[in-house]
Amino acid sequence: MADTGMKSGTEKKELVRMWLPVMGLVAVIAIFGIWSGGRIFMGDNITTIINQAFTTMMVASGLAMIYAQGGMDFSPGGVIALCSLTGVAVANATGSIVLVLPMCIITGIGCYAVTGIITVGLNMNPYIGTVSMMFLTRGIVNSVFNVRSFSSINLGIANNIWFRFACLIVIVFICWILFNRTKIGRASQAYGENQQAAAQTGMPLKKYRLIAYMFGGAIVGIATFFYLARVGNVSTSSGMNEEMNVITAMALGGMAMGGGVRTAIRCGVIGSLIISLLVNGLVVCGIAVEWTHGVRGLIFLVVVAISFVRDKGVKFLPR
């Protein structure tokens, strides 16, 4: 009876964990829908919300396996900047946009392969590897802009909202398949849940974990391509704060920050929508953009505090 009661309590806790972010998303939609007098649901504003959530949602979905391993990635913003730089540079050099997407993907994979080797191969804390990559990529981009500039590019249909939305759905679905239906995803979750137990399964954990990092890099590269399609050029501020957007989205979406089997693709999807709706809703309701950063930071602190209490006993910081 005691075991049954304990199991029932655990199941209820997991149901709350799963549905609380969804209820939070519904609450945000309802609050800003009423506060803005319905303006938040206008056609042009819906497009703005999708565009604001697009990059964070795609990147968060691609990096979910890294978070499942118990890692926390501080490098997406810098990697996006470097991918943007190489993509625009090759377009300027060749006069063609054909190589922009492959160059972005190759750059993203390369950056995350290095991070993966540092983290997985050298068995170092993910914080060290990802922060090092953040500074390295930002340093490269800033150094290049000290000596030259680049012309804008036009990526055509890639900036069409419906094409972007369709590609986003496909990418998120691919990430879901890889996360839930492949050995790479299961190995990542198993490692985050219990490193010692995962090591005894006989799976080539290092291989699968490294592939997860490289897959994340490929998705960041694809997200950068669509980012370039929207902004048209690269600058030293490209991808700025995207790492915090992703971390905040994961936390808001209910991601178990210690990793393991309680991680899910939906966390990044729900969280990125909440962030986009929150920021957009505040602006539509007349709040200065500067205040939205403070509100977002405050919410992040609250959510992290709740996550820490919720996952009490689980190592919270990157492993």
- Asked if residue 56 has pLDDT above 90, the reply is yes
φ/ψ (deg, to 5) at 138: -65, -40
pLDDT digits (tens, 9 = 90+) for 127-186: 999 999 999 999 999 999 999 999 999 999 999 999 999 999 999 999 999 999 999 999
Q: Residues 283, 40: contact at Cβ < 8 Å?
A: no
pLDDT digits (tens, 9 = 90+) for 258-294: 899 889 999 999 999 999 999 999 999 988 877 887 8
pLDDT at 63: 98
Q: Which residue has the tokens 């055509």?
A: 156
The single-letter DSSP state of residue 120 is: I
pLDDT at 308: 62
Distance (Å) of CA 308 to CA 24, 98, 254, 257 = 18, 46, 11, 8
| pLDDT higher at 88 or 316 | 88
Q: Residues 172, 178: contact at Cβ < 8 Å?
A: no
pLDDT digits (tens, 9 = 90+) for 188-245: 999 999 999 999 988 999 999 999 999 999 999 999 999 999 999 999 999 998 999 9
Distance CA 147, CA 82 (A): 16
CATH topology of domain 39-310: ABC transporter involved in vitamin B12 uptake, BtuC (1.10.3470)
Domain map of the chain by residue range? 39-310
pLDDT digits (tens, 9 = 90+) for 68-118: 999 989 999 999 999 999 999 999 999 999 999 999 999 999 999 999 999
